[in-house]
Chains A and B, each alone.
Chain A
Amino acid sequence: MSEHADLEALSAYVDGEAPEWAAHVASCASCRASAEELRGVASAVGAPVEPADPSVREAAVGAALGDLHRRQVAERARSRPRRYQWQFAAAAAAAMLVVAVGFTALLSRTSDRTTVAGPAPEAATSRDQALSESSAAASVPPADLGDVPDAATLLARARPAPAGTGAGSGGAGGAGGAAAMSGNSGAASTPAVPPVGGQRSAAPTVAGTRPCEEQARAREPSLGPVVYFATARRGPVPAVVLGFSTGPAPAPVTLLMLAQDGCSELLRAAGP
């Protein structure tokens, strides 16, 4: 290698990519000088770069990860319709099931009402039958009289059956109060009326009824057995309506409308 190295050979030699020129460069002043020039340029270009401001780095990393996040979200959105098809089908099936169950329950309830509220004077005279009806009524939700502003409305809507005439024989009030008629009429018509607590075991399960009944009875011990109940409200105040028998049929019924919360007396009416 007596000839001078060309530019590319010298540049490659500087980079360690042409070691075969090492001996020549070592012995050739001209090539050595050129190699040193190229090495100086490489060194200058390769001088450390002032790092970017940390905020710049954070912004760049954040932008890259943010871009990834957006694409992942978009990807999920693209794959969502297929999943939603299943969700929609499941929701539709669930809705159909609810409708079917509700319809069945409605039919059953109507049947119960017919059984309980239907006129059955003969049965009503039978204590056993009355207790049976009372058990059926226990599973029936109470009637709701809606917003009752005054005693006259209360009386008109409730129209409770007189004690001893059988549940629901008084006919449904505006809100179907007869449907919730207690089956205690049989008990009420019998002198050996069990204590109120005992009656409740056969009475419809209305939340708040028993405490209010007990409080009303504590305030007014002369109240007879409960022969009627319903729910109602006075304005925004939810209430229960209890009909207390004042004596053997056809004694009048005292209707008390009591606030569900606290059982304070909201309205009072006396009906036939």
Chain B
Amino acid sequence: MQAARGGDRAALDALLRRHYDRLYALCRRMTGDPADAADACQEALIAIVRGLPAFDGRSAFGTWAYRVATNACLDELRRRRRRPEPGLPEGSAEMASPVDAVESSTTRVDLDRALQTLPADYRAAVVLRDVCGLSYEEIGEALVIPPGTVRSRIARGRAALVPLLAPGRNPGPSAERPTTG
């Protein structure tokens, strides 16, 4: 790590390769698209290399890298919103939004599309927990939010996903439960 922070090319190469798959998985779930995930992950690696000399080590490198990658994903999503969408195929007008697409489906909803229905902040918390396996404290560090907010976002995000991912799309008992906030 010290060598990588000092700009040692071989050390950086090894560090980036070691973390690439996990960062890509985060980006893949955050963006819901392989190409966007690849772009976001590449931007994340560039940002990591640029920011590594200033990385203070107060958090684990992985946590910090996830934070960088999450920000890269949010940037990528903002860019995607500004991009003109490619023309939809004929007969797909009713699939104008992911939610509509999900609700019109009679089969199990695609995980990527379901995740895209969540607000990005919620999605980031859920993905960092379920894909990256970070603790609530680490997620708080990565997203710069208090642990209580992490807990709330994960819970609400999961509850929103229940009817989208469960067979029959019936809201489960968890969706009826009160929330703390």
Contact = CB atoms under 8 A, between A and B. Distances in A.
A42 B166 CA distance: 12
A49 B131 contact: yes
B84 interface: no
A6 B181 CA distance: 10
Contacts, number: 145
19 contacts: A5-B177, A10-B174, A17-B151, A33-B173, A37-B162, A40-B162, A41-B161, A41-B166, A46-B131, A46-B133, A49-B24, A52-B38, A60-B41, A61-B20, A64-B12, A64-B45, A65-B16, A65-B49, A68-B49
Interface SS of chain A:
helix
Nearest to A48: B25
The 10 closest A-B pairs by CB, nearest first: A11-B155, A64-B45, A34-B174, A46-B130, A49-B25, A60-B42, A45-B130, A8-B155, A37-B172, A7-B177
B21 interface: yes
B136 A37 contact: no
Interface of A: 4-12, 15, 17, 30, 33-35, 37-38, 40-52, 56-57, 59-61, 63-65, 67-69, 71-72
A42 B16 contact: no
Contacts of B46: 63-64, 67
Majority SS at the chain B contact face: helix
A51 B26 CA distance: 11
Contacts of B73: none
Interface string B149-181: 001101110110110011000001110011111
A40 B162 CA distance: 8
A234 to B, nearest CB: 59
Contacts of B9: 65, 68-69
Which of A37, A57, A69, A71 has the most C-beta atoms of chain B within 10 angstroms of its own C-beta?
A37
